Amino acid sequence: MKKRILITERFAQDSLSFLQQTPGFEVLRSKIPGTIDPALLVTSHALLIRSQTLITDKLLEQAKNLQLIITSTSGFDHIDLAAAAKWGITVMHTPTAHIESAAQLTWGLVLACSSRIFEASKMVKAGLWDRNQLIGFELAGQNYGIIGLGRIGTRVAQMAQTFGMTVAAYDPYQDEEVFAQHKVARLSYEEILRTSDVISFHVPQTPETKYMLRRSQFEFIRRGTILVNTSRGMVIHEADLCEALEQGWIRSAGLDVFEKEPLPRTSKLLNYPQVLLTPHIGANTEEAFHKASQAAANKCVRFFGDGTTSETLPPKASWYGAPAPFAPLHDPSNG
Ligand code: NAD
């Protein structure tokens, strides 16, 4: 019997053709992206999704033949992983496909903030030419602090080194060899916040990383630092960030992710000239889209071929319950 693969959202044409031409597969597509027709769901053996498709316990209960879900994304907040485990369904994602794009956007935000590119462009378009208002900040010789030295964090570290920066990272779950291999100093979270001229976040969203940066840390964060977040919005407490901006505790911020997305029109973040905002576009490149589609197609073929799995979800169990090595993370109001 053919394996029925239901693709619920956009998928690169080359990878679609590859699946369609693979013997033993029948490929189906959702008519409305992000939705799943119950009749197709019941007969599907695999779902190939992106972040618009919500996978709930209720949905999986109806998916009597489902063995596999692959999301062509890094993030997996749209999938009830506990329910998938309960129903014995394997889940994989394609995080490797997005490394380059997310690291590139992170650096785009760092450069835009340090050279004040977005403020400069706004000024020129407004017919002004007041260069004295736009004094930048040279990166070479400064300290770059990375929170989460995983796939994207290590690529961002390489880029920082190319700019002549000294790089340190906080990641309690990363192996010593990774720090050594990338020539990144291992520091505590507090040391990174106290000493870095640029800080960027590359952690997953877990109970431990929720509001990892809040008032208690902003109080001692290095004055004049540039802050960048391309990981998950819940990592930074936005109201506390607004206070830090108003107090002048940080120089500027580049944010691609938010507590609530789309960012509400009432958000105070929209008011600060020194804050650069992008609408969660860290993985939005043609290349990442193609790499993610092909990775999903390959994983699907291998899974039904010889049972091989890779980049399965959930990731490391230790992220979700290990004791935090830095006390403020255990702030009781930290949800
Ligand atoms: P990854 O799993 O390779 O790396 C995450 C790292 O964070 C790991 O090394 C892990 O040990 C570390 N970590 C976990 N808990 C931590 C904690 N409490 N404190 C410090 N470090 C901790 O993930 P990745 O592929 O590098 O992605 C990083 C983040 O970027 C994820 O949240 C992902 O969803 C996000 N992302 C966003 C976009 C975007 O569009 N903006 C695109 C791709 C990825």
pLDDT tens sequence for the chain (335 residues): 899 999 999 999 999 999 999 999 999 999 999 999 999 999 999 999 999 999 999 999 999 999 999 999 999 989 999 999 999 999 999 999 999 999 999 999 999 999 999 999 999 999 999 999 999 999 999 999 999 999 999 999 999 999 999 999 999 999 999 999 999 999 999 999 999 999 999 999 889 999 999 999 999 999 999 999 999 999 999 999 999 999 999 999 999 999 999 999 999 999 999 999 999 999 999 999 999 999 999 999 999 999 999 999 998 777 776 443 333 333 323 22
Pocket (CB within 6 angstroms of ligand 1): 74-75, 95, 98, 102, 147-153, 170-174, 202-206, 208-209, 230-232, 256-257, 280, 282-283, 315, 319
* 26: annotated active-site residue: no
Q: How distant, in Å, are the alpha carbons of 160, 254, 334 from that of 110? A: 10, 7, 28
CA 323, distance to chain mean position in Å, is 23
CA dist., res. 18 & res. 172, Å (int): 40
175 alpha carbon to ligand 1 midpoint, in Å?
A: 15
Domains along the sequence of the chain with CATH: 3-97+285-306 (3.40.50.720), 99-277 (3.40.50.720)
Q: Is 241 exposed, middle or buried (0-12, 13-18, 19+ CB in 10 A)?
A: buried
Q: How far is the CA of 137 from the centre of ligand 1 (A)?
A: 27
**pTM of the full predicted structure?**
0.93
Q: Which residue's C-alpha comes closest to atom 1 of ligand 1?
A: 150
Examine the residue annotation and report whether 232 is marked as an active-site residue of this protein: yes
What is the whole-number distance in angstroms between the Cα of residue 29 and the centre of ligand 1?
Answer: 30
Which residues in 5-20 are b (16+ Cβ under 10 Å) and which e?
bbbbbebbeebbebbe
C-alpha 131 – ligand 1 centre gap (Å): 38
Catalytic residue chosen out of the listed positions 232, 238, 251, 259: 232
Point out the catalytic residue in the list 61, 138, 246, 261.
Answer: 261
